[in-house]
Amino acid sequence: MAINKLTITLFLLISLAVFHCLAFRVEVQEFEPPRQEGQEGPGGGSGEGWDEEATKNPYHFGQWSFKNFFQSKDGFVKMLPKFTKRSSTLFRGIENYRFLFQEMQPNTFLVPHHLDADYVFLVVQGKGVIGFVTDTANESFQITKGDVVRVPSSVTHFFANTNGTVPLRLAKIAVPANVPGHFQVFFPAHSGFHQSYFNGFSKDVLTASFNIPEELLGRLIRGPQQEVGQGIIRRVSPEQIKELTEHEHATSPSNKHKDKKDKHKDKDRSTFGSPFNLLTQDAIYSNNFGRYHEAHPKRFSQLQDLDIAVGWVNMTQGSLFLPQYNSETTFVTFVENGCARYEMASPYTFQGEQQQPWFGPGQEEEVEEEMSGQVHKIVSRVCKGEVFILPAGHPFAILSQDENFVAVGFGIHASNSTRTFLAGQDNMLSNINTVATRLSFGLGSKLAEKLFTSQNYSHFAPTTPSHQFPEKPKPSFQSIFNLAGF
């Protein structure tokens, strides 16, 4: 009797296993699109961009790509070359934008100056003061980590790092006003190798304009003798920092944004664009694996005419910013902390470093539009101090690696752009009709339904299976034994 029960049990187990295998095979083969003549079978095709990582990435700018505008022991200002220097076709849409990075050591001062360009900066570390000066106003603001400030073209301003121990670090995006992709910096006072713009006037004009003796013109043009050789960033004493901040009556933009729910209180507060703190705004995406803050030009009047968005992403170690793309915005992204692998799908090829060609009158560059159907996988490891570009319409994902990953970005052409996620609980593809999914991907009805609905998280997700799929109890065969009579 016991032998018969054991035989029946083994037979039932084998039958169930065979049944499940056949059911799975039928499910997978339930719908298979007809193969076109000449079409590669499974494993065929070029497979370009799937198994091999790209060796050249035009969208990644390492630290070596920056050119120093100024550098000394007290700080530096560096800038990426014009984007079209890397590729005259891939970056044509952002050729009038320049990315800069500025760092000032503790207790330092960057002398007054102005640019023939509008720019927006984001404080990524430290605290300090920015002062604005015009012929009718003098206003300054305390700035700290997360603050976003709009600096209008040709408005004179200066910086001071008021922290005695931590450097002040600023990421900037500039929009030149005169020559596309190029701007100049103008200094009223002589600073190191940077001449005063008063050098552009004759002595007669300067004497008459300022109504001063000619012997004082040397001080105006060349600066104090004891400061010859000093740069635009110079060390100052803590007493001078205190005197500067007290004299300017600097106000903190963070205090002006305590009510984060009021969407209109950030407008028209200051002649110079009313700084605001990005990190005090509610994160638009947030869970245990990451947070993303974004200031959109439709909400903040300071960003509207420049059509620029400002973003800040903070990801925990080993997390994934799920695949997505922006409809019209190209993001220039700077890594502030950690390293990440970013992957992007692109139909464009890149032939290496190239210069923007010159065209004569009436001539235009012709860009051949190729629709080869191939997708190139752009893959790079990006680390602190590096920049990568996320073009509009290009699906991408970011995977944090050895530590928490922090990056900030400036979105160009942001006003009418939307962000579309391709994975996660609220992804776009999950809204495709099941029949359309089957026809497109060649899956059976049940697998088609599960294809885009199995992710447990939105926007940010873990890469560790134990976090994604909690451990389940081991399968029990009690019901089978019951059926066999045990």
User: pLDDT tens digits, residue range 335-366?
Assistant: 999 999 999 999 887 765 443 333 334 444 44
Region of poorest pLDDT, from 56-70, 151-165, 213-227? 213-227
pLDDT tens, residue by residue, 153-169: 999 999 999 999 999 99
pLDDT over 80 (residue 40): no
Tell me 205's DSSP state: H
Q: Which amino acid is at 98?
A: R
- Place 126 in a pLDDT band, splitting at 50, 70 and 90: very high
What DSSP string describes 434-447? HHHHHHHH---HHH
The closest of 341, 333, 286 to 314, measured between CA atoms, is: 286
**Stretch (H or E) spanning 478:** helix 478-484
Query: Would you state the pLDDT for residue 114?
Result: 96
Contact 386, 335 (CB under 8 A): yes
Give the distance between the most distant pair of CA atoms in the chain.
Answer: 123
Which residues have CB under 8 Å from 267's CB, separation 6+? Answer: 274, 300, 301
Which residues have CB under 8 Å from 328's CB, separation 6+? Answer: 392, 413, 414, 416, 417, 418
Report the alpha-carbon distance of residue 157 to residue 128 in Å, rounded.
Answer: 13
Residues 180-190 have a mean pLDDT of 92
Query: Would you state the pLDDT for residue 293?
Result: 98
Report the alpha-carbon distance of residue 132 to residue 112 in Å, rounded.
Answer: 9
Region of poorest pLDDT, from 6-15, 76-85, 222-231? 222-231
Residues 82-97 have a mean pLDDT of 94
pLDDT tens, residue by residue, 373-422: 788 899 999 999 999 999 999 999 999 998 999 999 999 999 999 999 99
pLDDT over 70 (residue 248): no
- Place 260 in a pLDDT band, splitting at 50, 70 and 90: very low
Burial 326-355 (b: 16+ CB within 10 A, else e): bebbbbbbbbbebbbbbbbbbeeebeeeee
Q: Quick one: how far is CA 124 from the chain centroid?
A: 13
Of the chain, the percentage scoring pLDDT greater than 70 comes to 72
pLDDT over 80 (residue 188): yes
- Place 194 in a pLDDT band, splitting at 50, 70 and 90: confident
pLDDT over 80 (residue 22): no
